[in-house]
Amino acid sequence: MTLSFKKNILLVEDDPVLGEGLKTSLSKTYNVKWANTLAKANQLISTETFDLLICDLGLPDGNGMNLVEKIQSLSYKPPVLILSAQGDPETRLKGYEIGIQEFVPKPFHLKELLLRIGHVFEAHASQIEVEVGKVKINFATFAVYQPDGSIEYPPVNDIKILKHLTSQAGTPVSRDQLIDAVWGSESETSHRTIDNAIARLRHLIGDTDEQMIRSVRGVGYVFEQKA
CATH fold of 8-127, please?
Rossmann fold (3.40.50)
Looking at per-residue pLDDT, the higher value among 133 and 93 belongs to 93
For residue 41, what pLDDT is reported?
93
pLDDT tops 60 at residue 79: yes
Burial annotation 151-172 (CB, 10 A radius, 16+ → b, else e): beebeebbbbbbbbbbebeeeb
Looking at per-residue pLDDT, the higher value among 173 and 50 belongs to 173
For residue 4, what pLDDT is reported?
42
pLDDT tens digit sequence for 86-126: 878 888 888 888 888 889 988 899 999 999 998 888 776 65
Architecture of the 154-223 domain? Orthogonal Bundle (1.10)
pLDDT tops 70 at residue 2: no
Give the whole-angstrom CA distance, residue 87 versus residue 105. 5
Task: Extract the runs of DSSP E, i.e. beta strands, from 52-119.
Answer: 52-55, 58-59, 62-63, 80-84, 102-105
The ranges assigned to domains in the chain are 8-127, 154-223
For residue 203, what pLDDT is reported?
92
154-223 and 8-127 share a CATH fold: no
pLDDT tops 90 at residue 51: no
pLDDT tops 50 at residue 1: no
Of these ranges, 14-28, 40-54, 180-194, the one predicted with the greatest mean pLDDT is 14-28
For residue 46, what pLDDT is reported?
78
**90 CB burial (10 A radius; 0-12, 13-18, 19+):** exposed
